A and B are shown apart, each in its own frame.
Chain A
Amino acid sequence: MIQSRGVSPRTGSARAGSDAHCCRPDRCGGESMVTRLSQAKERLIHGGLFLCAVISVFTTAGIIWILATESLDFFAEVSPLNFLFGTRWAPLLEPRSYGILPLVCGTFLVAGGALLLAVPVGVGSALFLSEYAPPWFRTAVKPVLEILAGIPTIVYGFFALMFITPVVIKPLFPDANTFNAASAAVVVGVMIIPTIASLCDDAFQAVPRTLREAAYALSATRLEVSLRVVLPAGLSGVTAAVLLAFARAIGETMAVTLAAGLTPKLTINPLESIQTMTAYIVQVSLGDTPAGTIEYQTIFAVGLVLFLITLTINLVAQRVLARFRSAYE
Chain B
Amino acid sequence: MNQSATMFNPRLSRRRLVAGLFASAFLAITLAGVAVLGVLIVSVAGEGWSSLSWKFLTNPPSRLWPENAGLESALFGTVWLVGITIVVTIPIGVSAAIYLEEFARDNRVTRLIRLNIANLAGVPSVVYGILGLAVFVRWLRFDRSVLSGGLTLSLLVLPVVIIASREALAAVPSSIRHAAYALGATKWQTVRAHVLPAALPGIITGVILSLSRAVGETAPLIMLGGLTFCTAVPDGLRSDFTAMPIQVYNWLDEPQPEFHHLAAAGIIVMLAVLLSMNALAIGIRAWKQRKRLW
Which residues of A does B touch, CB under 8 Å?
1-5, 7-9, 11, 14-15, 17-18, 21, 38, 41-42, 45-46, 48-50, 52-57, 59-60, 62-63, 66-67, 70, 120-121, 124-125, 127-129, 132-133, 141, 143-148, 150-159, 161-163, 190, 193-194, 197, 219, 221-224, 226, 244, 247-248, 250-254, 257-258, 278, 281-282, 285-288, 291, 299-300, 303, 306-307, 310-311, 313-315, 317-318
Contacts and interface: CB of A to CB of B under 8 A. Distances in A.
A52 B33 contact: no
Interface in B142-183: 155, 158-159, 162, 170, 174, 177-178, 181, 183
Contacts of A222: 19, 23
Contact of A221 (B19, B212, B227): B19
B219 interface: yes
Q: 7 smallest A-B Cβ distances: which pairs? A: A251-B124, A152-B216, A18-B184, A128-B26, A49-B99, A223-B19, A52-B95
Nearest to A291: B138
A11 B96 contact: no
Nearest to B274: A150
B188 A45 contact: yes
Nearest to B219: A253
- Give the residue among B123, B271, B282 with the most A Cβ atoms within 10 A: B123
B28 to A, nearest CB: 9
Nearest to A127: B26
B186 A120 contact: no
Contact of B174 (A7, A17, A288): A7
A17 to B, nearest CB: 5
Contact of A2 (B115, B170, B187): B170
A49 B110 CA distance: 12
B25 interface: yes
B272 interface: no
Nearest to B213: A150
Contacts of B98: 49
Contacts of B252: 154, 157-158, 161, 258
Nearest to A222: B19
B87 interface: no
Main secondary structure of the interface of B (DSSP, over half): helix
B227 A286 contact: yes
Contacts of B115: 315, 318
Interface stretch (B57-65, B68-76, B229-237, B262-270): B262-270
A174 to B, nearest CB: 21
B15 to A, nearest CB: 5
Contacts of B225: 285
A48 B117 CA distance: 18
B26 A253 contact: no
A47 B282 CA distance: 34
A148 B36 contact: yes
Contacts of B40: 151, 155-156, 159, 163
A251 B127 contact: yes
A183 B170 CA distance: 41
Contacts of A306: 124, 126-127
Contacts of B47: 162
Contacts of A120: 29
Contact of A158 (B27, B267, B278): B267
Given A132-B26, A303-B126, A306-B127, A193 B33 contact: yes
Contacts of A317: 122
A148 B44 CA distance: 14
Contacts of B105: 5
B131 to A, nearest CB: 5
A318 B126 contact: no
Contact of A315 (B112, B119, B134, B178): B119
Contacts of A286: 222, 226-227
Interface string B83-102: 00000000111011011110
A63 B126 CA distance: 11
Given A144-B34, A148-B37, A41 B125 contact: no
B5 interface: no
A235 B133 CA distance: 40
Contact of B127 (A56, A63, A161, A252): A63
A55 B29 contact: no
Given A128-B27, A158-B252, A281-B130, A318 B226 contact: no
B135 A3 contact: no
12 contacts: A46-B103, A53-B100, A56-B113, A60-B119, A125-B30, A151-B274, A158-B44, A221-B19, A258-B252, A281-B223, A285-B129, A318-B115
B122 A278 contact: no
Contacts of A5: 105-106
A146 B209 contact: yes
- Give the residue among A59, A132, A291, A306 with the most B Cβ atoms within 10 A: A59
A146 to B, nearest CB: 7
- Give the residue among A62, A250, A281, A291 with the most B Cβ atoms within 10 A: A281
B187 A303 contact: no
A41 B219 contact: no
B26 A124 contact: yes
